[in-house]
Structure 1
Amino acid sequence: MNIVIIGNGITGITCARNVRKLDSNASITVISGETEHFFSRTALMYIYMGHMKFEHTKPYEDWFWKKNRINLIKAYVKSLNSKDKTLHFDNGESIAYDKLIIACGSVPNKFGWPGENLHGVQGLYSIQDLEQMERNTKNISSAVIIGGGLIGIEMAEMLHSRKIEVKMLVRENFYWGNILPREEAQLIGKHISAHGIDLQLNTELKEIISDDQNRVKGVLTNKGEQFECQFVGLTAGVKPNIGFLEKHELETERGILINEYFETSIPHIYAAGDCAQFRNPKPGEPAIEQLWYTGKMQAETLARTICGDKSAYNRGIWFNSAKFFDLEYQTYGQILPEINDQQKSFYWEHPNGKHAFRANYSSKDESISGFNFIGIRFRQIIAEEWIREHKTIGFVIQNLKKGWFDPEFSKAFYNDISHSYLQSLKSGNEE
């Protein structure tokens, strides 16, 4: 069996490794024009900040691929001929496949802003983007970042580490206000501001202004304000990287359409990771999952199907984590910006504004549906178990210590949270 994988990110490489574990005879080829070897994409920021070198971001030694008989081709795919089962590269070469896995990831969003293609304007996703950012930010003094997501705050921290003045244009009322409840969004926004980032809330980009050398010199907002800068970071989300399929018969919408087995509209072609879109996502789950851990889970499931054990994907309980400078964040289950009519919510925040806890639960039977932890480390296995087993809010508050794993000698806040919850019951201050 000749298996070809487009993309050497977490999804493509996890699939390749798991296929090799299940089938010692399969021919496996991974294609990427970005880099020859797999690396940790989330570590790009630390290269820029001088904490790591590129070779430190590679989880496997370079000899690993030859030892495991995983062939690597450094090239960009130009076109797909599904009738002949061949891929054609930008260098004129081609390769045949028996089964094709498309795991080509994402690219930064652009929305047709005037000036978005000027020199000094870019997103941050690939190693090439990082190299471009090195060039674009050399000897500059100020930058503007468009968008308030996780890539945006990473870019802000990168620029801040080089003493570059940073403004962030955020269209919502609060930083990440489309994801977080108001209290958490305000807490994180204050923390970001305390680190010297100028958050411009309720502000959208109208135009990127050019100098006489076709380079950015500032931005104009929807409020009519103009900010001078020598760099603009476009971090208003990402979209599936499927431009090479634009005129292909493979069915796509925002991403490549797949079923629960990662099968596309064409036999023997599969898609997974950031570039894939579920035709019929489960209630409350996104059609496109663009997280590191979901890409890994999808790849592990797909590898079983490729090797003859047809397996439907089941993501399980939603999880995500992030870091806002030195402030850690974890979320489990369903925590939306606002609760619905069937939910209640308990929120606790430390007076220092660096630690917070939220639990959402059913107003009918008090069973837990989700958690937010900020500045608190909590065991994933415990949080997911409590959600899965429908533990009540009362049980959770009484047993918080079970999941605590903050560093030794750090203050544990479970007693403070418990006291606050009991007080809220007495005063009826639950949301």
Structure 2
Amino acid sequence: MTENHPYVIVGGGLAGAKAAQALREQGFDGPVVLIGEETERPYERPPLSKGYLQGKDEREKIFVHPQDWYAEHDVELRLGTGAVALDTAAHRVELADGSQVEYAKLLLATGSSPRRLPIPGADLDGVRYLRRVEDSEQLKADFQPGARIVVIGAGWIGLEAAAAARAAGADVTVLEAAELPLLRVLGSETAQIFADLHRDHGVDLRCGVEIVEITGSLGKADGVLLGHGAGRIAADVVLMGVGITPNTALAESAGLKVDNGIVTDEHLRTSAPDVYAAGDAANAFHPFFGKNIRVEHWANALNQPQTAAKSMLGQDATYDRLPYFYTDQYDLGMEYTGHAEPDAYDRVVFRGDVAGREFIAFWLSEGRVLAGMNVNVWDVTDPIKALITSRTVVDPERLADPDVALESLVSS
């Protein structure tokens, strides 16, 4: 019934584009349709809060493929219209423009959307979000010398945008509900390093605050009102950086299993026949960790599509890469490998010059490395991966000693 139908990819971001590429690289010569809600062809999102926002990268560099790649590889792009309904029994997707597409196999690479704060003033002009290329371009125009920028949320996006705003000469205040930025991700020992980094670069970082309202005049945001008598902060622009939520509405409406994302097995198969998921929206079973995890970072969108494409083609493919992400803020570059949930580790070991921001941090549980973060130290990702995947019980003193090669700590 479906053998002559195309392989359909819903989601016009990095994961969708890489899935189309992977299908062709695996030798699939049937029709491929890529459906994207945005009018732009697929592009990568990290530059939107990094190089492109700072004016270091040209616009063309953000795109996954050149414009003519899709025609050259016989990939049909349907842009500017999202998928609004999915009938898994009929193998059919309905689009916002009223058209329908039948599929043989379907990949949901629907990504995520910025979380909204349910507070008065959140819809005022001058309240920004950073998810799409036009958002980055608007912020680039906003970040001017002397502009008063208030960032709500001290996660990765908020902090990277704050660094870009400071580089442009803007006055920046960052507001965070937790006691430190990135607290849930890094823990108190390492989160303090990022708090100090931003304060050293002139950011007014305020933690443990409650956001009551975004104030405005004539329909435009002009400040943020804090709770508990903490006052009001004047603003020309307010950037919301309070996290993202997976785009699961399409999957939910079709009856797929959804729990903090679209639930898949290690092959990225969903609960519906011939339907797969990858990227931000996928809560995939990870064989190394023995449970489902959802990772909201670029590396998943980059690498999961290869596994999804192989699975769609009937190959025995498993996604077991360790989570990985990176950030660039001011003169600090960082890579993080592994997965250490807030209550999963019992100590953090530092190797190198923490005060000078040139070190590696390791999160340990019962002597085994769960995750490693290298800050301004390079070419150590592979030995960090080996320490994690080998489940070696390490001597913390040797782990902390820069004169001891990381490779020598891995049990054979």
Q: 1:48 offset after TM fit, Å?
A: 3.2
Quote the Cα distance in structure 1 between the aligned partners of 2:134 and 2:184. 29
**Deviation per CA, 1:74-97, whole angstroms, max 9, x where unpaired?**
122242241433323333333221
The equivalent of 2:394 in structure 1 is 392
Q: Tell me, yes or no, if the aligned pair for 2:48 and 2:130 is still in contact at 8 Å.
A: no
Q: 1:192 offset after TM fit, Å?
A: 0.9
> Within 5 Å, which residues of 2 pair with 1:265-344?
265-278=271-284, 283=289, 287-315=293-321, 317-335=322-340, 340=345, 343-344=346-347
Structure 2 residue aligned with 1:117, among 115, 120, 123? 123
Structure 1 residue aligned with 2:357, among 347, 354, 359? 354
Q: 1:347 offset after TM fit, Å?
A: 2.7
Q: 1:387 to 1:399 in 2, by over 3 A?
A: farther
SS of residue paired to 2:22 = helix
Q: 1:265 to 1:359 in 2, by over 3 A?
A: closer
Quote the Cα distance in structure 1 between the aligned partners of 2:137 and 2:349. 44
SS of residue paired to 2:319 = coil
Quote the Cα distance in structure 1 between the aligned partners of 2:260 and 2:388. 31
Q: Tell me, yes or no, if the aligned pair for 2:160 and 2:327 is still in contact at 8 Å.
A: no
Quote the Cα distance in structure 1 between the aligned partners of 2:301 and 2:168. 32
Quote the Cα distance in structure 2 between the aligned partners of 1:219 and 1:93. 43
Quote the Cα distance in structure 2 between the aligned partners of 1:187 and 1:134. 26
TM-score by length of 1: 0.83
The equivalent of 2:228 in structure 1 is 223
Quote the Cα distance in structure 1 between the aligned partners of 2:275 and 2:120. 38
What CA RMSD, in Å, does the superposition of the two structures yield over aligned residues?
A: 2.9
**Deviation per CA, 1:223-282, whole angstroms, max 9, x where unpaired?**
332111121111111011234556443343432232333222322222211112247987
Quote the Cα distance in structure 2 between the aligned partners of 1:388 and 1:112. 41
> Within 5 Å, which residues of 2 pair with 1:162-201?
162-201=168-207
Q: 1:112 offset after TM fit, Å?
A: 1.1
The equivalent of 2:373 in structure 1 is 372
Q: 1:27 offset after TM fit, Å?
A: 1.1
The equivalent of 1:17 in structure 2 is 21
Structure 2 residue aligned with 1:141, among 147, 152, 157? 147
Quote the Cα distance in structure 2 between the aligned partners of 1:77 and 1:235. 24
Q: 1:150 offset after TM fit, Å?
A: 0.6
Q: Tell me, yes or no, if the aligned pair for 2:209 and 2:227 is still in contact at 8 Å.
A: yes
Structure 1 residue aligned with 2:62, among 41, 57, 66? 57
- Residue 75 in 1 paired to residue 86 in 2? no
Percent identity of paired positions between Structure 1 and Structure 2: 23
Unaligned runs of 5+ in 1: 405-431
The equivalent of 1:214 in structure 2 is 219
- Residue 26 in 1 paired to residue 30 in 2? yes
SS of residue paired to 2:186 = coil
Q: 1:339 offset after TM fit, Å?
A: 7.0
Quote the Cα distance in structure 2 between the aligned partners of 1:130 and 1:324. 16
**Deviation per CA, 1:292-344, whole angstroms, max 9, x where unpaired?**
112233211111111111333323x343322222212223335455775xx44
Q: 1:105 offset after TM fit, Å?
A: 0.6
Quote the Cα distance in structure 1 between the aligned partners of 2:158 and 2:208. 16
Q: Given residue 52 of structure 1, which amino acid in structure 2 is its aligned partner? A: D
Quote the Cα distance in structure 2 between the aligned partners of 1:35 and 1:150. 26
SS of residue paired to 1:210 = strand
The equivalent of 1:427 in structure 2 is none
Q: 1:132 offset after TM fit, Å?
A: 4.2
The equivalent of 1:414 in structure 2 is none
How many pairs are equivalent?
399
Q: 1:132 to 1:241 in 2, by over 3 A?
A: farther
Quote the Cα distance in structure 1 between the aligned partners of 2:97 and 2:145. 35
Quote the Cα distance in structure 2 between the aligned partners of 1:334 and 1:244. 28
Q: Given residue 325 of structure 1, which amino acid in structure 2 is its aligned partner? A: Y
Q: Tell me, yes or no, if the aligned pair for 1:104 and 1:242 is still in contact at 8 Å.
A: yes
Q: Tell me, yes or no, if the aligned pair for 1:75 and 1:90 is still in contact at 8 Å.
A: no
Greater C-alpha Rg: 1
Quote the Cα distance in structure 2 between the aligned partners of 1:200 and 1:15. 41
Quote the Cα distance in structure 2 between the aligned partners of 1:374 and 1:135. 30
Q: Given residue 26 of structure 1, which amino acid in structure 2 is its aligned partner? A: G
Q: 1:28 offset after TM fit, Å?
A: 1.0
Q: 1:362 to 1:78 in 2, by over 3 A?
A: closer
